[in-house]
Structures are given as structure tokens and as C-alpha cells.
Structure 1
Amino acid sequence: MQAKKGCTILLVGQITITLILLVISLRQGISLQADMLTALPESNFDKPILHAEKQLFNRASSHVVISFSGSDKEQAYQDFLPKIIKHGWQAQLPDTEKLNQLANFYVDYAGYLLSEQYSTNIADEQRFRQYFTAQMSQFSNPLLSQTFEKDPSLATANFIDELIAKQSNLQTKNGYFFADHVTEKPIVLMLDVGLKEEASQGINFAISTRNTLLALIAANKQAFPEVAIELSGILMHSAENAEQAKWEMSFFGTLSLMATILLVVFVFRSMTPLIWIVLTVSNALLMGFTCLVWVFESVHIITLVFGTTLIGLGVDYCLHVLAHKTFARKTSITNTILFAFLTTVLSYSLLFLTPLAILKQVAVFVCSGLFAALIVSLWLEKTGMLRLKMSGDDIAKVNSTKHLKAVMFIGRKLAVVITGLLVIYSVVKPLSFDDSIAKLNASSAELVAAEQYHRSLLGFQDKSRIFVYANSLQQLLEKEERLAQKIQTHLPNTTITKLSDWLPSAATQKQNITLFEQAHGNKVYLAVQEFLPEYRFNQPAKLLTLEDLVAVTGQQLVNAKYVTYQDFHVSLIEVNSTDTAQLGAIIDDSENVALFDKQRSLSKVLSSFRIELSYWLVAAIVAILAMLYIRFKWHTTVVASYVILASLNAALALACLIQGSLNVFNLLSAILVIGLAVDYLIFYREKEFSDANVIAISLSAASSFFVFGMLAFSQTPAVQSFGITVTIGLLLIYLLAPLVVKGRK
């Protein structure tokens, strides 16, 4: 009676607290993420660099690139642009007014700002005369005409010319950008669709924006069928991945739940068990999600796809209670369920120790959900709420497990042979792992192709990124300049873009003004004085500062290259070279400098994590076998060792054959395979071949098979790998687990 009352209080209390916490979370707002890279472990870089890379990534997350190519591209572009502006999105267009504004700003610092080419030309009077004459023959140059009145020395015009030339591969014509270096000369439109930073991070915002853009593009293509339009951007990847994950979560979850419901109705010949199954699954999902949003600041949507596995696991305990209460009413399975729960939670808890954010979230979601499922199952067990009245014929039909046991016996022999052959195969041809992060890219081939195409148009495909940080802005700018000079010494034809292009360090500005004054003292500017007799050099009142630059050009220009982190100043240098080995060697002895190759660094992290995970799996198996030994002694422990290891090896070997190579998610699925194997082993060891036990385990395996079998068809590589391995492992442990009964009465 006390147990019944205690279980009721526990269930009501758990549901009440869960609902209160969930309502609070919903009122505060729940943050969801869809980008796969945000779920991966951080690379082994210094914290200022990791922070800066994340900030720059977030700032670029709302940028979209659209290209138009074909005979009617100009008309298509002109038709498309007003519709973009109508939606409030900011289009980056060639702006003569902004260029004039930049020229009027920089001309006030004439003498402090000298390009490398200009510094060479003022080395002697004759060289400068030739340069001056050549430039004056091109007086139609808008920069030259804009700055000549205040700076006849041409220093400012040359500085801005060289600065602009380094920034982009695109040319301007008739008010738009186009890629002249490509045969089709496409028009390129760059948009910022998330003017509010917090809005651009939302999944719903990304999906809505993508759908709107696709609709606009479809209408444009209908009006101009000869024009090819490509769309890319970080936001497009996030939206596509989110839509796919949402669809899979809904479709797989619904399908697996419906299949489980139909199976239960078929076996129990009653709708009553559905009430308890729905209660169990709903309570598990509710508590799992609530704990998830309270433990983590944001939830990755892929976690919820993985979380559909909770449906298969959550109904297991309820199915065992249903089966034993229906077909073996006097049998208690409380201790068996508790022991199975502990071993499963132990397996999933290991995920929380991994560096993968997704897996930490899966661990919290599944463990808390299983606890909720356990509470409902214990309540059903203790309160005797099940009152199924099955006819004698129905009971006879269900209890006729003779054929099922015969099939399992044959399947068991076949599984032993298959696992043995796969062990031999694994020895002859060891399992191969591919840790490349590119293999986990869930974006469509069309979007990836569009991304690569646009990178080639913008000149990004051949660029390497270097992060630099220092304790002050001036130290940072000086470090940038020294590093750029060092790189160009070894790679003279390399183009380098950096913050100090726009804002030279104070030391460089002082050197420039000294050189400029010396040139005047050495009468280098005779050609200017002959052309403009009243020319006199007046030194600017102060050095150029970051505050001055931001006040005129806005924060956007600086934000693309510069981030602050605590007491550090961090900047991004882009080098037009893909020879990372040579670049790495050049900057190797530089302090607080790192060549940042995100794909390569994440691949290395995944490789290290995979090796580390292998040790964790071994530790988990040893811990579980120790628990089995304490409870069941040697025979069960030895058989369990064989079942677990044979199933794992066979599942990974077959997954390797199907996929071509394994990844870290294949190995992670081994944790779940271990958890399922232990559950089946415990129930077979405790309840042996009783009809109720065979039915319960078969129902449990079938429901899990529905869930994990669905994941094997996922379009997300990580989820698919997980699903394939678990599905194979599940089938094998279902067939092999009864071996633990052999030799017992």
C-alpha cells in the first residue's frame, strides 16, 4: 500500500514540476540551433581566437549571395532587386557616394597613409615625375578628381586605389557587381537579410527567409527562363538542415509511434494498453525536453532527431509491465526494470562526458526521459491499474510463442555464424574510419555546389585565414604589419587583406609622415609644384584612429576583420594562398598567431575524440560486466561479454561495408547497442524463456527497430550512421541475448 501511494505521489509530483518548468521555459523563449558546426567540439586554439572565429561566423550568418547568369541577366537582376529592398533586406551595391565619403575622410590624413607602391615612387624626383605624369593622364579617375584639391601629391588617391583593389574579385558596371574573370560574367548580389543579430540566429527566421528567397527566385525564373540563378549562404545551410531535421523528427517519430501502437493492439487485443504507452512516451518526451532546455542555453535540432530513440527505449519498461501483468500476473519485475534502467542510464551518461554538444544534449534528454518512463512503469506495476480481460482464445493465441521461439533459435544459430565470419573479416580487413568533417555535411549537393561557385566568384576558394591577437589595438596592428611583410617576403605574389590596410598602426603612420616630409625636403614633388605652384604641404593635426574610421565608414567594415575578447584584441588576416603547409612554417615562430583551417582542425578533433571514445567504450563494457558479475556471477558475465562484443563488431563491420567507411557517430551508436544488449541480457537472465518475457522482449525489440530503422534512412549523415549501426546491432543482440539462458533450467 505504501509503495502504491509513494509511486502515485512520485508520478504526480514529477509531472507537475515538469509542466511548471516547461511553461517557464516557453515564456522565456527556447533557443534552437540547426548548424552542424555549432554542435561539434571546439578546435585546439587559444580562447581569443575561438571567440573571434565564432563572432565573425555569427556576423556572417545572415549574409546571402545570389548570382545571375544568362542572356537576360541584367533584366532579371533589375526585376529582382526592388523586391529584395521591399522586404527590408540590405543589398550591397556599388555606391559612388560611399566611395566619395571614404575619399573625403582619408584625404584629411594625407601623408600618414602611404601605399607600398607610392612609398617606392617617392624615392627620387625622376621616378615620382613619371608616376605623376602617368596618373594625371587618367584624371577622369573619380578618386583622383575627388582628392586632388586637398592632396595634389596623389598619396590619398593611390592609397584608396590599392586598398579597394585588394578587397574583391568583382568589378562594377551600371550599378551592380559582376565577375569578369568567369566566362559567363555573372551579376553578383550580396545581401544582409538579418539586420538584427538576434533574429538572424533563429531557425524559424532562417527557414522563413529561405522560403521567401526561393519563392522570389522561382518567380524571377518564370519571367526570365534563360537566366540561371544560384543562391548560397550560411543561413541557407541552417534553414535547409533545420527543415530536413524537423521533417525527419516529425515523420520518423510519428511513423515509429504508430507502428508501435499497431503492434501493441495486435498483441494485447485491447486499446487499454495504448493509454499507458502514450502516457509513458509523452511523460518521457516531456521531461526529457524540459530538462534539455533548462540545462542548455540552446538546443540543437539534431538532438531532437536523435531523441526520437527515446520513444523506442521509453516504451520498453511499460511493455514489460504490460506483458507480465497480462500473461504472468503474479510475477514482479520491479527489480529487473530498476537494474535495466541503471545499466542503460550508465551507457547514455557516458555521452555527457564527450566534447560533442549534441551528445551531451542527447544524454540529458534520454536519461531524464527514461527516468520519467521508469516512474510511469513502476506506478503501473505497483498500483495494479492494468485490468485487461482477454478471452481464453486470445490468451492462447498470444501465449503460443512456440513458433516465435523456433524462429529465434534458427536466427540465433545464423547470428552466431554471421558474427563469427565478421570477426574474421574484421581481422583480415580492419575497420576503416574517415574523420573528415566534410563527411558529416548534411546540406544538399545543389547548395554545396552553389556555395563553391560563389566562393570562386568572390575569390574565397584560394584563401587561407590567419588569426592574430594582442593586448592592445596598436600592438595588434603592428603585429599584422610585421606578419604580412614576413609572408610577402616568402610569397611575393600573394595578396593579403587585413585590418591594418584600412587603419595603419601609429608606428607606420609616423614612419609614413617622416618619409613624406623627407620627400618634400628632397624636392621630390617638383612635378606637383610645377603643375600647381601654390601647393604647400600641411601636416594633418592627428593620427588616424579606429574611432575616426568607425565614425565615417560605420561598424560593418571593422566588424568583418576585428573582434575584442576580454582584454584582447583579435583580427583576421586573409591570405590568397592555399599552401597551408608553407604558411604554417612561415608563421610557426610567431606568438599569438594561428593559421585557422576549421575543417582540418575539426577533423583532427573528431579523430582524437574517436580514439578517446574507444577507451570510454571499453570502460563502459568493463563497468557493465562488473555489475553483471556482482549480480549473476561468471556464466552470465562470460556469455554477456560474447553477446556485447560480437554484436558490436558485427554491427560496425556491416556498417563499414554499407557506408564505405565509419565515422565517430557509428562508434557513438555502440553506446546504445551496449545499453540495449544489457537490457535484453538482464531480462532473459531474470525471467528466462517465459512467454511473458519473450513477448515483452520481442515487442521491445520491434518498437526499437521501428525507431532506429527509420534513422537509417535519414538524409543527415550523422543520424544515418547512427541508425544503420544501431539497427544492425539491435537485430543481432535480439537473436544472441537468449544465449545467456543456456545451461539453466
Structure 2
Amino acid sequence: MKAWGLTLAWLSLLVSALVVVFILKQPTLNNDILALLPKSEPRLQQVEEHFFAANKQQLSFSFRGENAVKAYDNLEQWLASKHIEPRFKLPEISQLAAFYGQYAGHLVSEEYKQAIGDANRFQQYYFSQLSKVADPFVSSTINQDPSLATAGFLSEAMAHMQQFELQDGRININYQGDEYLMLFVQSADNAFSINQSIALSNEIVAYIAELESRYPDTQIRYAGALFHTAANAQQAKFEMTLFGSVSLLALIVIVVWVFRSINALWLASVTVISAAIGGTIALICIFSQIHVLTMVFAVTLIGIAIDYAFHGMLDLTEQPQGFSQGLKLALLLSLLTTTLGYASLFFSPVQLLSQVGVFVVAGLVTAWLCTRILLPYWQTGLTINTAAHQLANMLSGYLKRLTHYRVALSMLMLVLLSAFALLKPL
């Protein structure tokens, strides 16, 4: 009865600490893949943050094929119904002329600069430009700027963007001999949650699939932080579910088969739960934002903590007076070496790795304390299955015999690895 009371008190203490820290710190779960990038030099970091903030909600689409225009218009209208408007459109030439015409004579092209220094050369340049009646820059600016300086400036400026053309208000690009229509949009909501990102991404992808089935000769491609966020979040959920389920199933099978005891399964679960809660408390205390991928990596790595419970329970079945001195030293050395290894991640420029390091180190310390404090009180309820004990002794005997051939086995492995490296280089 005392063992149950102490275990429940231990778990209650950890849960209470987690609730208090959560209320005080109020952390947020970050799903932005760009947040994983290393921090740059302060001035460059300000530029990067401004660029990422400005482009975080931008979505890009390309259309190629016979019905690209119809697909473009349908998607643009559908996105507008979701309050996702075009981010920018190339202005009409008349708008460019009206804007830059105010600065006539101040903005001139390089060719205009060279021609204006000689009267005869400028006369030839001027009449050659004036004769281009089909030139939209000349016809649009000559009323505002008869010197044609604005026309020359706009012509030179747009020449640098000749890969972009405007066709009936749509951006057209010629790339490697193929014509593409480009659509750039931006959502007004700049604070999507993970679930909102997944829902919107799935909606857009489903509608694109519908358009491609409606226009089978049209190819639509898409990009944007929203799609990456949704894909990463879905993959993270899948991995957490998969690895968590497999680990839990393997844990139950091993514990039940070896110890044939509900108490052993309970103690192993308490150790893992304690490690997870301890790691989470440390994360919340140190970081205001926790990346979703941190939890994926951290949960898979915290399985190391179960070793403490296994070794502790096995030692208690053989020692009548609590843990042996050898096990105490082994657990302590294991804790020190493992925490030192993961502590090196604290100094990583990638925040994901530093968060994983904090989680695992704090989790292992909590698991070690749980093993040392709680397990001795459950000693009377722990036994080892005879079949498991015999199997362990048999495997131990095989391993001892193999040590006589360790040099030959090491050479064989070296030869095999060398052959593999030659046949299939990394």
C-alpha cells in the first residue's frame, strides 16, 4: 500500500509542476519550418525575419497546358472565396507611365545618358525612338514626357524582367521552352494553427486535383510555407503515433513475458511517463516556443529511460536488500555519460536540436530519480519468468563463446564493410 501511495504522490507532484509551469509560461507550439534555421548575424537576422514574415503566407501556383488559362481563373476565383487574394499583379503600362512620368528627366536609361551628350547622336536616338509607333512605352509616355526619357527608362527597366510577361492580367513566364502562367496569392490570416494549416492545405490540394481531372491536359504545381507546414505536421503526427504505438506494444510484450507481473508493467510505464513529464517541464521553463518536430524526436529518444526501470527491476529480483552497489554505480555512470552526450546539443545553432537535448537530459534525470526512489518499494512484487531467465542464460553463454572469435569476427566485418563501400560508395 505504501508503494502505491508513494508512486501516486510522485506522479501527482510531476503533473502539478507541469500544470503550474504551463500556466505561468503559457508556451506556444511552433510549426514553422523556417524557425529551425540557425540564427544569423543580428543585422542579417532582421532582414531574414522581415523576409520570412512577408512571405510566410504566400502561396505560388504554376499552370501549364492547353487549358492553363481556365484552370488559372477557376483557382483564382476559388481562392478569393476563401479570402486568399492575389499578392501582386504586374501594373499596366499606363499606370507605370503615370507614376514614373512625375520624375521625367531624373530617371533615364544608360542609352539615353550616352546619347544626350552629343546633339547629332541624340537626334538620331530621339527619332529612332519616335519612329517606334508600336512601342507601348513611347505611346504611353510621350504626352507626359516629350523628351522620351521616361520611355527609355521604362523600356530598360522592363528588359530586365523580360522573362515575365503580362497576358490579360496574368503573369506569363517562358522557362526552358515551356509557357507557364504564375499565380501568387497571400492569405490575410498570418497566424494559422497546425490544424488550420492542415485543413486549408488539404482543401487546396483537393481542389487542384479536381481541376486537373477537369482539364487533363493541364499541369498545376504549387508551393508555399503553408503546404510545408501541413506536410510536416501530418508527418509528425504519423511518426508520433507509429513509433509510440510500436514502442508501447513492444514494452508490454517484453515486460509481461519477462516478469509476468502487472506491477512491472506499471513501474515501466511510470518511468517513461515521468521522463516525458520531466522533459516537458524543462522545455517549457527554458523555451517560450516549442517546435512540433521537437516532440517527435524527443519522444522517440526518451525510450532510453526505460532501460533504468528494466535494470532496476532485474537487480531487485536478485538482491534481497534493495539495489546492489554495482547497479547504483552503473545507473549513475549511464546517466552521466548519456546526459553529457545530449548536453552537447545545447550549443547547436539549430533550435530543434537544442530543444531535443534539453528534453532528453531532463527526462533521463527524472527517470533516474524515479528508478532510485520508487522501485525499491515494489521489490516484493517483482519476479522473473523461468523461461526468460533460461533464455537469457543461454544467450549469455553464446555471447561468451563468441568472444573467443572476436578478432576473426572483427576482421570479417571489416572486410564486408570495405567490400560494400567499394561496390556501393556512400
* TM > 0.5: yes
Aligned partners of 1:255, 1:19: CA distance in 2, in Å?
Answer: 28
Shift in alpha-carbon separation, 1:90–1:238, aligned structure 2, 3 A: same
Equivalences for 1:322-721 in 2 at 5 Å? 322-332=313-323, 333-382=327-376, 384-385=377-378, 387-388=380-381, 395-400=385-390, 401-410=392-401, 412=403, 417-422=408-413, 660-661=425-426
Shift in alpha-carbon separation, 1:416–1:255, aligned structure 2, 3 A: farther
Aligned partners of 1:350, 1:181: CA distance in 2, in Å?
Answer: 46
Asked if residue 107 in structure 1 is aligned to residue 101 in structure 2, the reply is yes
The aligned counterpart of 1:73 is 68
Q: What do residues 436-489 of structure 1 show as CA deviations (whole Å, max 9, x unaligned)?
A: xxxxxxxxxxxxxxxxxxxxxxxxxxxxxxxxxxxxxxxxxxxxxxxxxxxxxx
2:68–2:181 Cα contact (<8 Å) kept: yes
2:29–2:292 Cα contact (<8 Å) kept: no
The aligned counterpart of 1:122 is 116
The aligned counterpart of 1:577 is none
Asked if residue 18 in structure 1 is aligned to residue 18 in structure 2, the reply is yes
The aligned counterpart of 2:222 is 231
What is the SS of the residue equivalent to 1:90?
A: strand
Shift in alpha-carbon separation, 1:143–1:196, aligned structure 2, 3 A: farther
Aligned partners of 2:15, 2:333: CA distance in 1, in Å?
Answer: 23
Aligned partners of 2:8, 2:227: CA distance in 1, in Å?
Answer: 48
What percent of counterpart residues are identical?
Answer: 29
Equivalences for 1:203-218 in 2 at 5 Å? 203-204=194-195, 206-218=197-209
The aligned counterpart of 2:312 is 321
> 1:417 offset after TM fit, Å?
3.9
Aligned partners of 1:135, 1:264: CA distance in 2, in Å?
Answer: 88
State TM-score, norm by structure 1.
0.51
> 1:75 offset after TM fit, Å?
2.1
Aligned partners of 1:186, 1:18: CA distance in 2, in Å?
Answer: 53
> 1:12 offset after TM fit, Å?
4.9
What is the SS of the residue equivalent to 2:105?
A: coil
2:58–2:87 Cα contact (<8 Å) kept: no
Pick aligned residue for 1:39 from 36, 41, 50: 36
The runs of 5 or more residues in structure 1 that have no matched partner are 430-652, 662-745
Q: What do residues 273-313 of structure 1 show as CA deviations (whole Å, max 9, x unaligned)?
A: 22222222122112212322332343334333321343421
Aligned partners of 2:407, 2:303: CA distance in 1, in Å?
Answer: 25
Shift in alpha-carbon separation, 1:417–1:253, aligned structure 2, 3 A: farther
Aligned partners of 2:226, 2:248: CA distance in 1, in Å?
Answer: 32
What one-letter code is carried by the residue in structure 2 that aligns with 1:244? Q
Aligned partners of 2:345, 2:404: CA distance in 1, in Å?
Answer: 33
2:278–2:366 Cα contact (<8 Å) kept: yes
Asked if residue 264 in structure 1 is aligned to residue 261 in structure 2, the reply is no
What one-letter code is carried by the residue in structure 1 that aligns with 2:362? S
What one-letter code is carried by the residue in structure 1 that aligns with 2:219? A
2:109–2:156 Cα contact (<8 Å) kept: yes
Aligned partners of 1:78, 1:331: CA distance in 2, in Å?
Answer: 75
What is the SS of the residue equivalent to 1:180?
A: strand
2:243–2:300 Cα contact (<8 Å) kept: no
Asked if residue 83 in structure 1 is aligned to residue 82 in structure 2, the reply is no
What one-letter code is carried by the residue in structure 2 that aligns with 1:88? H
> 1:207 offset after TM fit, Å?
3.4
Deviates more, 1:340-349 or 1:222-231: 340-349
Pick aligned residue for 1:303 from 294, 297, 300: 294
The aligned counterpart of 2:148 is 154
1:310–1:370 Cα contact (<8 Å) kept: no
1:67–1:231 Cα contact (<8 Å) kept: yes
Q: How many residues align?
A: 420
Aligned partners of 1:88, 1:233: CA distance in 2, in Å?
Answer: 17
Q: What do residues 316-371 of structure 1 show as CA deviations (whole Å, max 9, x unaligned)?
A: 11122222334544341444423322232122212223444332222101001112
2:6–2:374 Cα contact (<8 Å) kept: no
The aligned counterpart of 2:29 is 30
What one-letter code is carried by the residue in structure 1 that aligns with 2:280? F
The aligned counterpart of 1:189 is 183
Aligned partners of 1:142, 1:82: CA distance in 2, in Å?
Answer: 30
> 1:217 offset after TM fit, Å?
0.7
> 1:191 offset after TM fit, Å?
2.3
Shift in alpha-carbon separation, 1:104–1:86, aligned structure 2, 3 A: same
Shift in alpha-carbon separation, 1:348–1:274, aligned structure 2, 3 A: same
Asked if residue 59 in structure 1 is aligned to residue 49 in structure 2, the reply is no
Aligned partners of 1:365, 1:227: CA distance in 2, in Å?
Answer: 48
Shift in alpha-carbon separation, 1:196–1:167, aligned structure 2, 3 A: farther
Asked if residue 274 in structure 1 is aligned to residue 247 in structure 2, the reply is no
> 1:60 offset after TM fit, Å?
2.9
What one-letter code is carried by the residue in structure 2 that aligns with 1:232? A
Aligned partners of 1:263, 1:76: CA distance in 2, in Å?
Answer: 56
RMSD: 3.5
Q: What do residues 646-687 of structure 1 show as CA deviations (whole Å, max 9, x unaligned)?
A: xxxxxxx99x789943xxxxxxxxxxxxxxxxxxxxxxxxxx
The aligned counterpart of 2:285 is 294
1:93–1:177 Cα contact (<8 Å) kept: no
What is the SS of the residue equivalent to 1:186?
A: strand
What one-letter code is carried by the residue in structure 1 that aligns with 2:125? Y
What is the SS of the residue equivalent to 1:112?
A: coil
Aligned partners of 1:413, 1:234: CA distance in 2, in Å?
Answer: 57
Aligned partners of 2:24, 2:134: CA distance in 1, in Å?
Answer: 65
The runs of 5 or more residues in structure 2 that have no matched partner are none
